[in-house]
Amino acid sequence: MLPAYSPFPCHWWGLSLEAVGLGEPRPDVGTYGRYDFGRLPPVPFPMTGEFAWLAMAPTRHHNIGKKHAADNARALKLLRESSDRFGVQLPDVFTKFMDTPSLQERIHSVTDCYLDLCPEPIRSPLGSGWLVHFLADSQACLFWYLYLTEDGSDHAVVASPDFYSTPCEPIGEDEEWEDEEPDPSAIRFCAESFEAFLCRFWLENEILLAQWGKTPMPKAGLQYVEHYRRRP
Q: Do residues 89 and 152 make contact, with C-beta atoms less than 8 angstroms apart?
A: yes
pLDDT in tens, 75-97: 999 999 999 999 999 999 999 99
CA distance readout (Å), 43 to 34, 93, 221: 18, 16, 10
Dihedral pair phi/psi, residue 224, rounded to 5°: -65, -45
- Which band of pLDDT confidence, cut at 50, 70 and 90, is reported for residue 178? low
Residues near 81 by beta carbon (within 8 Å), at least 6 away in sequence: none
Q: Do residues 1 and 149 make contact, with C-beta atoms less than 8 angstroms apart?
A: yes
The per-residue pLDDT for 40 is 96
The per-residue pLDDT for 169 is 61
Q: Do residues 3 and 192 make contact, with C-beta atoms less than 8 angstroms apart?
A: yes
Average pLDDT, the chain: 92
Distance in angstroms (rounded) separating the CA atoms of residues 119 and 61: 26
Residue 46 pLDDT > 50: yes
Distance in angstroms (rounded) separating the CA atoms of residues 116 and 144: 10
CA distance readout (Å), 145 to 19, 184, 198: 27, 13, 12
- Which band of pLDDT confidence, cut at 50, 70 and 90, is reported for residue 165? confident
Mean pLDDT of 55-61: 94
Residue 116 pLDDT > 70: yes
Residues near 80 by beta carbon (within 8 Å), at least 6 away in sequence: 90, 95
In the chain, pLDDT over 70 holds for what percent of residues? 95
The per-residue pLDDT for 175 is 40
The per-residue pLDDT for 168 is 64
pLDDT in tens, 2-18: 999 999 999 999 999 99
Residue 32 pLDDT > 50: yes
Residues near 124 by beta carbon (within 8 Å), at least 6 away in sequence: 7, 130, 131, 147
Amino acid at 123: R
Q: Do residues 100 and 63 make contact, with C-beta atoms less than 8 angstroms apart?
A: no
Mean pLDDT of 136-145: 96
Residue 177 pLDDT > 50: no
Q: How many CA atoms lie within 13 A of 25 on its CB side?
A: 20
